[in-house]
Structure 1
């Protein structure tokens, strides 16, 4: 009788061990597939960079994911002024399944911006012009065509005319300084007294964000959203992102904790009291922003 009981007990332990092994293998396979899918479709890495002659602007060539089964490789161009993104272009390069690499592009700088030639063995070269003022134009060129005007280019929205004494790079510099001043003002006035830290980071798309705190359950962020309707304020969102398994988190899952208006003229910071994007906010916030 005792022997039968021991046999059943031993069989139960073996079954549990087998199930644990199967479960471990399953989890490992799921993680492997998740990492593979991420690397193939979403992972972003900087392949090469080019700097303007004055050293103020940088242009990055990024690979987005990896080409699969000899398909085109997704690529991204990002023009930056210091830490701030001026413009970006998402495209693809058909190069017999090859990855995006430094040989995939050629850059030429001029007084108004950068001109890029993107090369692929299975396509006509793509020409992209990215202006210091944020303008972008694109077109295709014959393989023997030198860098120059873009043929049959699709021109983006024209930028506002600048005065003779103001260059486009100066305008971009001023805008970047205004956004950065707002970040610091909101932090000093509303968030630093709460004990938050201040860590400047960038997401996969190259957008700036400030991490205020990061724990095992949530990440608190401050993010520049946009200019107010009346143009008098810069708006910054305070958001909380839940931390998922293995420490991952995404801004797509964030909830709004508050929104702040930074008044350009006075430097005043006004909290909206909003906890969802559908909230209208306080009267003082609405008066300052015109919304």
Structure 2
């Protein structure tokens, strides 16, 4: 026969258990809702509360809640178990739960310790770039997202590899709706450049170049960083101007910068002519050795033949100072260019 105090204690225990069960169900519903939102819209929870609170953290806490309920169930089962076989099975389940919990906890700690987040807002406050830096052992990656609101990020624009020794070595600059990220990779021997257009939601550029021997250190002073940003912005502007100038040179007088697209490797491309049989387009190649011209290659490709290789129509240079387009007359990489072309590019 239970005393009144024991009855009251049991009632309180039942109420607490029910409250915890309801709270657990609510937490599970929140996690399920976030999963549906991610699947349907691509948005991921990322809240800054002193430190960043991620969607995966909610999933980890949900797992911890499930483990707690499993442990409580095993305790109740142990109290009611009579046979040795039942007790052995409970002990085995207990060991598996503990091992699984330890593995999950260490995995979460390693993942949390290797992740850092940085946010960069455009000068007009219209866009915010979220950079996620993930490192593990000697490697890692940098992922780029757009912040939709205070709770969610969405639209992963790009992902680039980074070197752990170069972690945090980067600079960011904005030009209207376009943001350009410059980061070091491979022990500062190379620099990775990623440009993203928030207005169109496209990754414009993603390329890497050697920085060995360069006088610019993006880890240096603010003046050096600003100098790197200005140079990159000027170079990007010259590349697009050269594409449009070449289009006009080939008779595409209506071509504009907005018509420029990018290949899967992030190379600027502009279509000059296209019909049912073939397409003619120009691709940016590189900057000339004397840094006075941007070099381009015009290709013609047969659309009907899927295995046909694009044919080189011409290789051209866009001279920065005069804004002139100079034809090389080359239809193969091994060909010798015209005198005017070789003189302009310093080769």
Structure showing greater Rg: 2
Per the normalisation by structure 1, the TM-score is: 0.47
Per the normalisation by structure 2, the TM-score is: 0.40
Greater helix share, 1 or 2?
A: 2
Kindly indicate whether structure 1 or structure 2 has the higher relative contact order, using CA contacts under 8 Å at least 6 residues apart: 1
